[in-house]
A = this chain, B = another copy of it.
Amino acid sequence: MKNMVYIQSGGPTSVINSSLYGAFKEAVRHPDLIDHIYGSINGIEGLIEGKLFDLREEDPHDIELLIQTPGAALGTTRRKLPKDIKDPVYMQIVHNLMKFSIKYVFINGGNDSMDTCNKIAQLCDEMNLDIQVIGVPKTIDNDLACTDHTLGYASAAKAVINSIYAISKDALCYKEGKIHIVEVMGRNAGWLTAASDLVPEDGHPDLIYLPENKFDVEEFLKDIKDIKERKGYGIVVISEGIKFERDTKNAAVDSFGHVQLAGACTELARIIESRLGIKTRVVELSLLQRANPFLLSRNDRDEAIEVGERSVTAALEGKTGQMVVMKRVSNEPYIARFELVPLGDVANAEQTLPKEFMQDKTRMSDAFRAYLKPLIQGNIHLIYKDGIVELTNFKKKVIK
């Protein structure tokens, strides 16, 4: 028996299940080389606890729906494995790899997950286990090293751009409007916030604040006042990762007296209202950035499927400790080449937003727009039932 196990890890995206779909479809094409195709329930935890299920036992319709289902269909986890490879948890993993006759391991995740993936590859190597371990890149933050972009980023960017454009039609239709602050995900990386620069002129943000730049509250207030005076309303896009000194003295406290800080943008809205008396509305795009089937990039979705397929191909060719990445060849026409890189190179590095992609606080550079534009192309025709999108719902019957 030569089985494979597929693991989804970390925060989900709109296309993480598309990579699973690609890997599943490629595995099915090789019945001579792969017997069972297992999903690990809730990320690496499934492999630690021996909680796997057989993907071929699921309804084929649920498999087909993977390419339009956000979130992690196998379940995911934020659990980080210990640094010490001698930790007993690694022995539990090895135990289950043997028990379930696993020959191929796929871990689909971001930086932390690639570190885990790398450790398991090393462990198998040290123990002379004939197991191939392959990483599948994913994160809406686009901060993974060694790849032109990460799977999931483009769909999140497309959701951010289109959502801001749509709500601008609502936000800007009053004569005496408010300042709208839109909060965008991306942790400490400004990639996703920067995407808002692609919103067309008639809904373009007046200001874009990236976490890469110093955030000065006084300067911010000056900019807001200026917009209000000049236009009467405005749209300001702020990354969740910006940092500024918080007012803990006047903050809310819970019943134990603990200070409870509001989100950064809520706090900034309060400061605008109390210092400038300007009405401000905070719009968090929240989970609809990374879990949005309605604004999928076809390019992102198709690349996610192909990377899933190529991960299986690489494993079948005997590759291990590698991750499939994309290298861009050209923007117009958009051409990207798929390659393999060692997991070690990915695990301890980060792709930061290059200086040449930034211009000023109202614009990104032409180079950034040329970079992002091809990634958001193409729409998906979704399957609906009675006006409601159909999404994968696996039964996940645990294998005894």
Q: Once bound together, how far apart are the Cα atoms of A319 and B162, in whole Å?
A: 41
Q: Which residue of B lies closest to A376 (CB)?
A: B387
- List, sorted by A's number, 25 A–B pairs whose CB atoms are closer than 8 Å: A70-B167, A70-B169, A71-B172, A71-B173, A73-B173, A75-B175, A76-B173, A162-B388, A166-B291, A166-B292, A166-B389, A169-B391, A170-B291, A171-B287, A198-B388, A202-B391, A250-B252, A251-B252, A252-B270, A262-B262, A283-B284, A283-B286, A284-B286, A294-B295, A377-B387
Q: Once bound together, how far apart are the Cα atoms of A244 and B183, in whole Å?
A: 28
Binding site for B on A (CB under 8 A): 12, 42, 45, 69-73, 75-78, 158, 161-163, 165-175, 198-200, 202-203, 250-256, 258, 260, 262, 266, 270, 273-275, 283-288, 290-295, 297, 373, 376-379, 382, 384, 386-389, 391-393
Q: Which residue of B lies closest to A162 (CB)?
A: B389
Contact of A260 among B162, B274, B382 (CB under 8 A): B274
Q: Once bound together, how far apart are the Cα atoms of A166 and B285, in whole Å?
A: 14
Residues of B within 8 A of A169 (CB): 12, 69-71, 73, 291, 391-392
Residues of B within 8 A of A293 (CB): 166
Give the distance to chain B from A368, nearest Cβ to Cβ, in Å: 15
Q: How many copies of the polypeptide does the oligomer hold?
A: 2
Whether B165 pairs with A288 at a CB distance below 8 angstroms is no
Q: Once bound together, how far apart are the Cα atoms of A378 and B387, in whole Å?
A: 6
Residues of B within 8 A of A382 (CB): 379
Whether A174 pairs with B75 at a CB distance below 8 angstroms is yes
Whether A294 pairs with B166 at a CB distance below 8 angstroms is yes
Give the distance to chain B from A397, nearest Cβ to Cβ, in Å: 16
Whether A391 pairs with B250 at a CB distance below 8 angstroms is no
Whether A274 pairs with B287 at a CB distance below 8 angstroms is no
Residues of B within 8 A of A284 (CB): 283-284, 286
Contact of A287 among B170, B260, B384 (CB under 8 A): B170
Residues of B within 8 A of A373 (CB): 386-387
Q: Which residue of B lies closest to A161 (CB)?
A: B388
Whether B262 pairs with A274 at a CB distance below 8 angstroms is no
* Most chain B beta-carbon contacts within 10 A, residue among A165, A172, A275: A165
Give the distance to chain B from A361, nearest Cβ to Cβ, in Å: 22
Residues of B within 8 A of A288 (CB): 163, 166-167, 285, 288
Whether A12 pairs with B251 at a CB distance below 8 angstroms is no
Q: Once bound together, how far apart are the Cα atoms of A276 and B369, in whole Å?
A: 46
Whether A387 pairs with B158 at a CB distance below 8 angstroms is yes
Q: Once bound together, how far apart are the Cα atoms of A294 and B389, in whole Å?
A: 12
Q: Once bound together, how far apart are the Cα atoms of A258 and B266, in whole Å?
A: 16
Q: Once bound together, how far apart are the Cα atoms of A387 and B258, in whole Å?
A: 46
Whether B260 pairs with A255 at a CB distance below 8 angstroms is no
Give the distance to chain B from A382, nearest Cβ to Cβ, in Å: 8
- 13 additional A-B pairs beyond A42-B175, A254-B273, A260-B273, beta carbons within 8 Å, are A73-B169, A75-B174, A77-B174, A158-B387, A161-B387, A166-B293, A169-B392, A170-B287, A198-B388, A203-B391, A262-B262, A373-B386, A379-B384
